[in-house]
Structure 1
Amino acid sequence: MTGPGAAPADTGAVAPAASVAPVSGTDVVDVWLVPTDQPEPVVRALYELLDPAERARADGPDRRFGRRFTVAHGAVRLLAGARLGRDPARLLWRYGPHGKPWLDGLAVNHSASGALAAVALTEGRAVGVDVEQVRDARVAVRMARRWFPAAEAESVAADPDPAGRFTVLWCRREACVKAYGGRLVQGFGLPLDGPSPVLLADPGALGPGPCRVEDVPAPDGFRASVATVGAGPAEVRRRTWSPTDPVANRLAMTGT
């Protein structure tokens, strides 16, 4: 499911169609996993990077949500700013018709669940990422039967770890839908079972294919997937973000 901090759906700015056009060649997709329970000095420093709308979300009544939101969105800004060589506090997000954020010159997507966020960055093709905390097995089987194709729902019910399998398939759907900037309902019927990566030649109503969906190793209790649009191969590099990592934070935070 969509991570906290999703952009409003109606913003008046629509990403250009070229952002989801199939491309050729090999692209590098960096997927950063971000632990969002961080010490207070890190939270304060990341808060300074947020724009007014992001700060308003962080300042809501749920303090734990606000801290995790701050870390997730601050880390997105640091990582995107480092990739672009720009001040992370000055990045200006644009939004697609269903709230997908994007930046000029960089495809970026992010997701959050519990105490973990995921950030995907690449150039040249659209990207979507999703991370989810594993659900209760009974809930997983019930939701699979409601939302997934019949064969996939049965595979979830028959799996020794139905909750884990359900969460993998949910992450794949979210990542695929987010790569296109579509609506989750458009991904429910997609055939996404099988070994990773899954190549969808025809993603249906979402847009032109192919779409490549790959599982990303995640900590115990979580699952994650990343999707890229385009005919050429994409190399996925999985990394873990730290507030003291000089590679991740080339534009360093102050006060940490």
Structure 2
Amino acid sequence: MIKSLSQLGRGAPRTGPLPVGRAVTVWALDTTLDVVGGYRVPDAAAVLDAVEAERAAKLLRESDRHRYLTSHLGLRALLGGYLGLAPEAVGLTREDCPCCGGPHGRPAVVGGGVHFSLSHSGDLAYLAFAAVPVGVDVEAVPAATAAADVLTSLHADESAELLALPDAVRPHALARVWSRKEACLKATGTGIALGLAEPYVGSAPEPAAVPGWTLTDLPAPEGYAAALAVRDA
């Protein structure tokens, strides 16, 4: 698997050609920007679709709404670049859920053409694009109290590994585990419908093997952890 990490900023992105094979391109985005991919955040309504606009409107905190709009403007700018379309012309849908068959599985482009995944946490977003199913996740390192609250939700071996660590490093290790697990769940489209115990991804510096997927950690700024899951051939 080949992957590259690029920075999306204010100007229109130069995406280059669509990824092929199992190549993956990952973009990082500062979600505090007021212009992203060449589009102003206050003018987002002209670019996003009705579903995105409705979700943004439901966010009560201005900061959360701004992060959502910024990351989705970035997503559309990049998809438009890869597909040769205006960002507002990109049709988005949801695949069927692999658990229940409902229309709330992985987000997808209408008509296909590229697989993508979006994650945002704090003031940072990661966006991944590939020719095969892919999942990306970025997580801000949680507070120690938050780390304690979620330990019982993980795989028993992951919980044991984390509890064996010194208190000072446990939150960073948890962010690593959480980003790996979320990347896998986004890639498969199951989300948290079946809980957070599976798949086992481990807390060690290298992720555990996940059958059918290649799971890798991504570079991330201080205070964050990020991971990428790509379906095997």
Matches within 5 A, 1:29-178: 29-39=24-34, 42-60=40-58, 61-96=60-95, 97=97, 98-103=104-109, 104-123=112-131, 125-144=132-151, 146-160=152-166, 161-178=169-186
User: Residues 201 and 207 of structure 2 are in contact (CA less than 8 Å); yes or no, is this contact kept in structure 1?
Assistant: no
**Matched letter for residue 200 of structure 1:** V
User: Residues 58 and 70 of structure 1 are in contact (CA less than 8 Å); yes or no, is this contact kept in structure 2?
Assistant: yes
**Matched letter for residue 78 of structure 2:** L
- Aligned mates of 2:79, 2:88 — CA distance in 1: 10
Shift of 1:90: 0.7
**Equivalent residue number for residue 28 of structure 1:** 23
Which whole-Å deviations, capped at 9, do the CAs of 1:46-104 have from their partners, x for residues lacking one?
A: 44311122122223432221111110000000111111111111111120223421111
**Equivalent residue number for residue 217 of structure 1:** 219
Q: Which stretch shows the higher mean deviation, 110-119 or 134-143? A: 134-143
SS in 2 for 1:199: coil
- Aligned mates of 2:163, 2:69 — CA distance in 1: 37
User: Residues 47 and 74 of structure 1 are in contact (CA less than 8 Å); yes or no, is this contact kept in structure 2?
Assistant: no
1:200 and 2:198 aligned: no
**Equivalent residue number for residue 8 of structure 1:** none
SS in 1 for 2:209: strand
**Equivalent residue number for residue 229 of structure 1:** 231
**Matched letter for residue 215 of structure 2:** V
**Matched letter for residue 160 of structure 2:** E
User: Residues 47 and 70 of structure 1 are in contact (CA less than 8 Å); yes or no, is this contact kept in structure 2?
Assistant: no
Shift of 1:229: 1.0
| Higher RCO, Cα 8 Å, sep 6+ | 1
- Aligned mates of 1:141, 1:211 — CA distance in 2: 29
Stretches of structure 2 that go unaligned for 5 or more consecutive residues are 1-19, 98-103
User: Residues 34 and 70 of structure 2 are in contact (CA less than 8 Å); yes or no, is this contact kept in structure 1?
Assistant: no
User: Residues 128 and 176 of structure 1 are in contact (CA less than 8 Å); yes or no, is this contact kept in structure 2?
Assistant: yes
The TM-score, its normalising length taken from structure 2, stands at: 0.77
SS in 1 for 2:113: coil
- Aligned mates of 1:149, 1:62 — CA distance in 2: 33
Structure 1 residues 212 and 66: alpha-carbon distance in aligned structure 2, compared to 1, 3 A threshold: same
Shift of 1:106: 0.4
**Matched letter for residue 85 of structure 2:** R
**Matched letter for residue 199 of structure 2:** L
User: Residues 68 and 115 of structure 1 are in contact (CA less than 8 Å); yes or no, is this contact kept in structure 2?
Assistant: yes
What is the percent sequence identity of the aligned residues? 30
Root-mean-square deviation (CA, aligned residues, Å) is 2.0
| Structure 1 ranges of 4+ moved more than 4 A | none
- Aligned mates of 1:93, 1:42 — CA distance in 2: 21
**Equivalent residue number for residue 198 of structure 2:** 189
Shift of 1:158: 2.6
Alignment length (residue pairs) = 197
User: Residues 176 and 187 of structure 1 are in contact (CA less than 8 Å); yes or no, is this contact kept in structure 2?
Assistant: no
The TM-score, its normalising length taken from structure 1, stands at: 0.71
Stretches of structure 1 that go unaligned for 5 or more consecutive residues are 1-24, 202-209, 232-256
